[in-house]
Amino acid sequence: MKIAFFDSGIGGLSVLHHAMKILPSEEFIFFADEDNVPYGTKSREEVLSFVDAAFKFLIAQGVGAIVVACNTATSVAVKVMREKYPLPIIGMEPALKVGLDAFPNRKVLVAATAITITGEKIRRLIKNLRAENLAELKALPNLVEFAERQEFNSAAVEKYLREELANYDWENFSSMVLGCTHFNYFKDTLRKILPPHVKIFDGNAGTVNELIRRANLKSSPTANRQSLTIYYSGREVIDAAELARLEKFLRRLDKMEAIE
């Protein structure tokens, strides 16, 4: 099956990276809306129009399923896209349930973009999990821009995170949930800042499991026959230097995936 992974930028590569490991025989498209990144600072109307344009392009490529590998786009647009397009559409959801299940009755910090943490979707998730007294929300918008320029563990990144997270009493928290796929590139810096008992969770595995279920796929250890085509806002990426840059993102994700 031809499966599309869509994001505002390169954050969604972290979800694709996980999918490529457990679905070795599928055909993948990755669509990064680099003309309009970041989504987290845009209006909901703008994000909805960007997502719809991307969906029209991807469906024209013959995809059989689309993973919206972007928490912001999921929050704003997935419900509308599912009503409009008749194919499996899988969105991202912050792994709040994972954190709550791992450490019942302990607080969880959900870090995301501003548009995600002010959205109805995250509020509904918290209510459904009866986590009103356990979930706290924190916007870390600058991480998206750091990630897009491959600045992952610089002094500026560490300073930003230390300042933004300084006021939390971490003894009251069990975990931090990364509610933006761009944030997955910063697990090593976060691990340096957070106390050892605070675990780091993301929604990649849950999203890919939902893709397998909704698209009736099978995860198997067969020989690797998969292919990957990458588009920036509808333009195929064929430049060798840019492909090498993207490969660096994927190699970093190899390291980040093991960090908890």
Task: Say if residues 9 and 35 touch (Cβ distance below 8 Å).
Answer: no
Chain-centre distance for alpha carbon 81: 18
Q: Which residues contact 169 (CB under 8 A, 6 or more apart)?
A: none
Prior bond of 38 cis (ω within 30°): yes
Q: What residues form DSSP beta bridges with 202?
A: 178
Alpha-carbon distance of 12 to 3, in angstroms, equals 13
Alpha-carbon distance of 156 to 135, in angstroms, equals 28
Lookup: tokens for 131: 């986590």
Task: Indicate if 70 belongs to the active site.
Answer: yes
Of 10, 20, 70, 95, the catalytic one is: 70
Of 180, 190, 217, 253, the catalytic one is: 180
Task: Indicate if 180 belongs to the active site.
Answer: yes
Q: Which residues are catalytic?
A: 70, 180
